Amino acid sequence: MSAFATEEDFVLAASLVREAGALAFAMREEGLTGRQKTSVSDVVTAADHAAEKLVLETLRRLRPDDGIVGEEGASHQGTSGRTWVIDPVDGTYNFLSGSPYWCSALALRADEDTDQPVDNPDVLLGAVFQPQEDKLWLGGPGRAATLNGGALPALPDAGLDRLSAGTYLHPTWLMRSEVAGPWTRAAAGAATIRMLGSGSCDLGSVATGRLGVWFQHSCPEWDWLPGKAIVEAAGGATAVIEVNGFRWYVAGPVAAVRDVQRLLVEG
């Protein structure tokens, strides 16, 4: 199978995130407990595993030549030059706490371009579904970003000082100057700051203009690639830069992305 996304891939992606999100939400309504992973706020539930299993099994049946990687351990080495990246529940702490600000997300990435950095590859499509809000974002190269099937207007350009910034910094990182310093400089340049707890929901909001720009350090690919594809499809810019040995991920209007990059590296 060629390394590009077809319309059938977009249809499949939309179906998968809807089904995964619906399954997770139904399981939450029936009652769930979480298990701590790396911290109190980094948790996993049976819904995460069940939703990822659903996506994995469907992809193995319908796209057997494609690779698969998932947050909760799904893994399959493909031969097509394409890999599906699965985040069954992004924002699990919110999910478990009863907040509606969580989603199911996936991306289809290209594996053939060795010139691209491993943590910022070419992404062929992104799909994000926020079940409780019934919001489905889709986007990718050659396909305009959409929300529930309606095309999103191109993002207007604006500087960081005119925009809200969606971001995240775990409290423990506030004690580490090599991360807290760059983050504080970038955050201080924004009109206002929002920490909402789901990177893919944040990036969908950037694509619609509800959030102005987004930045975060050390993102795994399942937290970055789905939203990256959608923001780019909405006419936004994305960037990955290294500061003090940490990778920072930025998305939004061109001018704001440029401002965040400059502030991250100043000091």
Please enumerate, by residue number, every residue annotated as part of a binding site: 71, 87, 90, 223
- C-alpha 124/C-alpha 109 separation (Å) is 5
> Could you identify the residue written with the tokens 């990182």?
173
> Could you identify the residue written with the tokens 């590296």?
265
Return the H-helix or E-strand segment holding 263: helix 254-265
| Cα-Cα end-to-end distance for the chain | 47
Short-list 149, 145, 169, CA closest to 230: 145
Contact present, 47 and 28 (Cβ < 8 Å): yes
Sequence-distant contacts of 48-51: CB under 8 A, at least 24 apart = 48/24, 48/72, 48/88, 48/89, 48/92, 49/88, 50/23, 50/24, 50/88, 51/20, 51/21, 51/23, 51/24, 51/88, 51/89, 51/104
Locate 246 and state its tokens: 């940490």
Which amino acid belongs to residue 232? E
Which residues define the annotated binding site for Mg(2+)? 71, 87, 90, 223
> Could you identify the residue written with the tokens 């789905």?
226
